[in-house]
A and B are shown apart, each in its own frame.
Chain A
Amino acid sequence: MRLRIPLLLALAATAGAAHVGSPDVFHEGNAGPYRLLVTIRPPVVIPGVAEIEIRSSSSGVRELRITPLPMTGVGAKFAPTPDLTRRSIQDPQYFTGSFWMMAFGSWQVRIQADGAQGKGELSVPVPALAFRTEGMQMSLGAALVGLMIFLSLGAVSIVAAGAREGQLEPGVAPAAAQFRSGRRAAAATAVVVAAILYLGNRWWNAEAGQYARYIYKPLQISPSLEADGRLLLRIQDPGWFAARRIDDFIPDHGHLMHLFLIRLPEMERMWHLHPVQIESGLFAHELPALPAGRYQVFADIVHKSGLGETMAAELDLPPLAGKPLTGDDSTGEAPPLSKADHSSTVARLAGGRMVWERDAGPLRTKRATWFRFRVDDNKGAPAKDLELYMGMPGHAAFVRADRSVFAHLHPSGSVPMAALGLTQPENPHAGHAMEAALPPVVSFPYGFPQPGDYRIFVQIKRAGRVETAAFDARVEN
């Protein structure tokens, strides 16, 4: 019998689909000849309205039209009428719009560009998930209750008046019998009104309960350590849509799962690993050498519908001798979080350094920003030996200090590459860089969802070796 050490501490999953606590979608891509940076803010309820902001870094774009449609299935065949975005008067390369997302699941927004250089099209995957039920503001609740009481009393009074005087000939005053009749009618109506209110309340609760079932619940992951040092990751569905499966994952730049292990509480070490699926809903990985302690787990997967999910958990580990890192697995170090320098823009690498080319001024929430990182060699010159790491010039993980936010980004943005591939089935390398020689600067479009302190891990590959740099950011509202 195999020894299994139960190490799970908590299943602290929070909503965020392909990320945790970071529902906005950021994507840079080409709509034909035009380079567009797209920001999509999905609604928190479905059906609901998503907001879209598009900045063109190419000149000559005259108009942009947007069309939301499901990523796959019959609904992906017929598109609704495209909507024209609004062009900013102050900034003619900045466009805004909104669109309805009517059903849960994996959607895409098709952007059709037209301008001086002709036409082009870009599709951006976006998940449609309900994250919460809005409460009712006290003032609105009070007003509605007041009106409900008014209407209830009004109904009782009207029926009473009808019974009392409605059948009297004009000019005839009601007698005692009519008053009695009116009172009886009022009592009966009060009972009916009370019954209607009671049944209405039950109906409302039933509707709210039904909707609550649609509120997104991420897959749960239970990590455990085998005696031989293997990490087992069991995935469970906490119940959401029956159509969601745990055996339909598709490779995202070559791997079914991207696992981030971050040492707690100081986040001074991180590992980017790629467990393999050994059976439906069960992944395993030979862990590398790890110091004892508590770890945060973030595990990214992508369903075949294109819907990406991030599972979160914590686990305690004993000291492990482990196996050497192989394949695309990588690790990195950073200063302890308690000694974070939020103004530092330089991180040391094994062969040089990485410089965060940061704009002056504070970082703000909800603002699509280019995070640019330049790699210098040992002599301080821009590095010329960058290579693709899993098909990308770089990978970044943005983690809030309290781990309520986690986003795994690529230079094309926050969209899983596997989902992007579904929007462009004719191009299996959609979103992946194919250049042989890479520039020394790697950049990621992103916007912080909430204020606070963040740690940014940036991973690049040079001369066959993955290097990781860490930066700290303080974000204001």
Chain B
Amino acid sequence: MAQSASIPAIEAARAGEGAAEATERVPWYIWGGVVAVTSAVVGAHWDISWHQSIGRDTFWTPAHIAIYLCGVLAGICSAYLILSTTWGGSRAAWEASVKIWGFRGPLGAFICAWGGIAMLVSAPYDDWWHNAYGLDVKILSPPHLVLGLGLGAVRLGFLILILGCMNRARDEARRKWVWLFLYVGALFVVGVLILIMEHSARSLMHTARFYLLVATAVPFVLATIGRASGFRWASTVLAGVYTALLMLLVWILPLFSAEPKLGPVYQQVTRFIPPEFPLLILAPAVALDWLWPRLGGWNKWLQSAVTGPVFVASFLAVQWPFASFLMLPLARNWFFGAHYFGYFIEPSSAYAQHQFLPAEPPGEFWTVMAWALGGAIVTTRLGLGLGEWMRRIRR
């Protein structure tokens, strides 16, 4: 570790004690953060369902309010932390802070504030976008990416806030911080998979591009959170929370009535359309949790070189046949939800016909699969590095 200039020893000891005491109980702003990130993720899925079922929305739909709540809570929590640390006079808070532009506060609070401002910026940008190019009927657009970055930053900010406390906490206190950290980390997995949702529909699950996307997005989060938490079964927990949340959405959303308020209407919709059945990332997650302790002393690149193929192979082994199953009448029930279609899905489309879109030609297929393998290796390496760095966060 790099050399540091120490303040007088007594003050350092006091500061350490203060910080440790502060981690004994979970403060209100952390609970606020947990509510914020949960609200944003549920709100995002609710909003997508709204657009598939009702279509038309306003600024004040419940789904939008759930998303805004994330920004509002992020703003309140980060403003409180930064202002109270800068001018509040708490020595413990001051000493566990970083300095940016003359302000002091926990690193996570600044990231939250950045995320909240990015969310605010996305609103007029998105409004202009609709006026210029029409209402977007897709998830991935530049203003939505700004909103997504904002939401991601809020999530990361709270994650770092929790991490700062977790890394300063002693044994018993640390355990509850670890669970909070894993929970918020799991919502990262959900958020990342929302971003690629349009390109990971079941009709695409026999294309190599689908595997490239998942293999690039998911191992990074699993490696980062897993390594930062130091928890043996971290990836399993992350994938488990994602799977449980998505399954709950598949089962709960259709319990509520909804009717399209926009045309063209190609499918008769009477209930909220849920997301698709969760991707089976639980299988590779368990495989990685089993694998990683066995690679303990290895160089990170070597660990990644093993992790990437294990992730791709285990995910492919379960998702490919499961996708075939999802196309069968057996999957068209409340449990798997393969019979739900948004009102705008054309009946003649492969998706509505329960068919796969054609896979890439063999040469291209295997090239893209090789990219998926490479992507999984590189993003795992990045995740392991970031996770190691996060593990040492104290502020």
Q: Are B263 and A70 in contact (CB under 8 A)?
A: yes
Q: Which residues of B contact A162 (CB under 8 A)?
A: 98, 107, 160, 393
Q: Which residues of A contact B6 (CB under 8 A)?
A: 172-173
Q: Are A175 and B263 in contact (CB under 8 A)?
A: no
A74: CB under 8 A from chain B? yes
Bound Cα distance A311, B7 (Å): 82
Q: Which residues of B contact A338 (CB under 8 A)?
A: none
Known: A81-B260, A147-B121. A158 touches B137 (CB 8 A): no
| Interface-side segment among B10-18, B240-248, B368-376 | B10-18
B175: CB under 8 A from chain A? no
Known: A100-B55, A151-B121, A155-B114. A48 touches B16 (CB 8 A): no
Instruction: Give the interface centre of A69, A154, A162, A171 by most chain B CB atoms within 10 Å.
Output: A171
Q: Are A200 and B145 in contact (CB under 8 A)?
A: yes
Q: Which residues of A contact B330 (CB under 8 A)?
A: none
Known: A47-B135, A158-B107, A167-B394. A175 touches B100 (CB 8 A): no
A9: CB under 8 A from chain B? no
**Chain B 1-32 near chain A by CB (<8 Å), digits 1 or 0:** 11111110001101110110000000000000
Bound Cα distance A45, B133 (Å): 6
Residues of B within 8 A of A (CB): 1-7, 11-12, 14-16, 18-19, 55-56, 92, 95-96, 98-101, 107, 110-111, 114, 117-118, 121, 124-125, 128, 130-135, 137, 141-142, 145, 160, 168, 259-268, 343-344, 346-348, 389, 392-395
Bound Cα distance A24, B124 (Å): 28
Q: Which residues of B contact A77 (CB under 8 A)?
A: 265
Q: Which residues of A contact B137 (CB under 8 A)?
A: 47, 102
Q: Which residues of A contact B101 (CB under 8 A)?
A: 157
Q: Which residues of A contact B131 (CB under 8 A)?
A: 45, 134
Q: Are A207 and B142 in contact (CB under 8 A)?
A: yes
Partner of B263, one of A69, A166, A174: A69
7 contacts across the A-B interface (CB closer than 8 A): A70-B264, A161-B107, A162-B98, A165-B98, A165-B99, A165-B395, A211-B134
Rank and list the top 5 A-B pairs by shortest CB-CB distance, nearest first: A75-B264, A171-B15, A177-B2, A171-B95, A78-B265
- Which residue of chain B has the shortest Cβ distance to A146 in the bound complex? B121
Q: Are B142 and A203 in contact (CB under 8 A)?
A: yes
Q: Are B264 and A168 in contact (CB under 8 A)?
A: no
- Which residue of chain B has the shortest Cβ distance to A212 in the bound complex? B133
Q: Which residues of B contact A181 (CB under 8 A)?
A: 2
Instruction: Give the interface centre of B114, B117, B265 by most chain A CB atoms within 10 Å.
Output: B265
Given contacts A80-B55, A157-B100, A169-B394, 17 further A-B contacts (CB under 8 A): A45-B131, A45-B133, A48-B130, A73-B264, A74-B264, A74-B347, A78-B265, A79-B265, A80-B260, A80-B343, A81-B259, A140-B124, A151-B121, A165-B99, A170-B96, A171-B95, A204-B142
Q: Are B16 and A175 in contact (CB under 8 A)?
A: no
Q: Which residues of B contact A165 (CB under 8 A)?
A: 98-99, 107, 395
Q: Are A136 and B19 in contact (CB under 8 A)?
A: no
Q: Which residues of B contact A73 (CB under 8 A)?
A: 264
Bound Cα distance A350, B133 (Å): 52
Q: Are A74 and B263 in contact (CB under 8 A)?
A: no
A103: CB under 8 A from chain B? yes
Bound Cα distance A100, B134 (Å): 10
Looking at chain A's contact residues, the main secondary structure is mixed
Known: A100-B56, A133-B132, A175-B3. A80 touches B265 (CB 8 A): yes
Q: Are B264 and A103 in contact (CB under 8 A)?
A: yes
Q: Are A45 and B121 in contact (CB under 8 A)?
A: no
| Chain A stretch 120-161: residues in CB contact (< 8 A) with chain B | 130, 133-136, 140, 143-144, 147-148, 150-151, 154-155, 157-158, 161
Q: Are B18 and A167 in contact (CB under 8 A)?
A: no
A413: CB under 8 A from chain B? no
Bound Cα distance A181, B392 (Å): 15
A46: CB under 8 A from chain B? yes
Instruction: Give the interface centre of B56, B160, B344 by most chain A CB atoms within 10 Å.
Output: B56
A164: CB under 8 A from chain B? yes
- Which residue of chain B has the shortest Cβ distance to A45 in the bound complex? B134
Q: Are A69 and B394 in contact (CB under 8 A)?
A: no
| Chain A stretch 74-108: residues in CB contact (< 8 A) with chain B | 74-81, 83, 100, 102-103, 107
Q: Are A48 and B117 in contact (CB under 8 A)?
A: no
A208: CB under 8 A from chain B? yes
Q: Are A175 and B2 in contact (CB under 8 A)?
A: yes
Q: Are B7 and A136 in contact (CB under 8 A)?
A: no
Interface size on A, residues (CB 8 A): 62
For the complex formed, measure the closest distance between the CB of A96 and the CB atoms of chain B, giving whole angstroms: 17
Q: Are B125 and A158 in contact (CB under 8 A)?
A: no
Q: Are A170 and B92 in contact (CB under 8 A)?
A: yes
**Chain A 43-70 near chain B by CB (<8 Å), digits 1 or 0:** 1011110000000000000000001111
Q: Which residues of A contact B392 (CB under 8 A)?
A: 167
Q: Are A178 and B107 in contact (CB under 8 A)?
A: no
Bound Cα distance A130, B393 (Å): 52
- Which residue of chain B has the shortest Cβ distance to A173 in the bound complex? B5
Known: A161-B99, A177-B2, A177-B3. A169 touches B55 (CB 8 A): no
- Which residue of chain A has the shortest Cβ distance to B391 in the bound complex? A167
Bound Cα distance A151, B141 (Å): 19
Q: Are B16 and A171 in contact (CB under 8 A)?
A: yes
Q: Which residues of A contact B4 (CB under 8 A)?
A: 168, 172-175, 177-178
Q: Are B264 and A172 in contact (CB under 8 A)?
A: no
Known: A170-B168, A170-B394, A175-B3. A81 touches B261 (CB 8 A): yes
Q: Which residues of B contact A200 (CB under 8 A)?
A: 142, 145
Q: Are A171 and B394 in contact (CB under 8 A)?
A: no
Known: A74-B347, A133-B133, A200-B142. A170 touches B95 (CB 8 A): yes
Q: Are A143 and B124 in contact (CB under 8 A)?
A: yes
Q: Which residues of B contact A67 (CB under 8 A)?
A: 263
Q: Are B114 and A154 in contact (CB under 8 A)?
A: yes
Instruction: Give the interface centre of A164, A166, A177, A207 by most chain B CB atoms within 10 Å.
Output: A166
Q: Are A170 and B98 in contact (CB under 8 A)?
A: no
Q: Which residues of B contact A157 (CB under 8 A)?
A: 100-101
Bound Cα distance A67, B266 (Å): 15
Bound Cα distance A174, B97 (Å): 12
| Chain A stretch 394-434: residues in CB contact (< 8 A) with chain B | none
Bound Cα distance A74, B344 (Å): 11
- Which residue of chain B has the shortest Cβ distance to A150 in the bound complex? B117
Bound Cα distance A78, B395 (Å): 57
Q: Which residues of A contact B5 (CB under 8 A)?
A: 172-175
For the complex formed, measure the closest distance between the CB of B78 and the CB atoms of chain A, giving whole angstroms: 11
Known: A47-B135, A168-B394. A102 touches B262 (CB 8 A): yes
Q: Are B117 and A46 in contact (CB under 8 A)?
A: no
Q: Are B114 and A169 in contact (CB under 8 A)?
A: no
Q: Which residues of B contact A140 (CB under 8 A)?
A: 124, 128
Q: Are A130 and B395 in contact (CB under 8 A)?
A: no
Q: Are A151 and B264 in contact (CB under 8 A)?
A: no
For the complex formed, measure the closest distance between the CB of B44 and the CB atoms of chain A, giving whole angstroms: 20
Q: Which residues of B contact A155 (CB under 8 A)?
A: 114
Q: Which residues of A contact B267 (CB under 8 A)?
A: 78
Q: Are A75 and B394 in contact (CB under 8 A)?
A: no
For the complex formed, measure the closest distance between the CB of A81 and the CB atoms of chain B, giving whole angstroms: 5
Partner of B395, one of A133, A148, A154, A168: A168
For the complex formed, measure the closest distance between the CB of A244 and the CB atoms of chain B, giving whole angstroms: 18
Q: Which residues of A contact B124 (CB under 8 A)?
A: 140, 143-144
Q: Are B12 and A171 in contact (CB under 8 A)?
A: yes
For the complex formed, measure the closest distance between the CB of B196 and the CB atoms of chain A, giving whole angstroms: 16
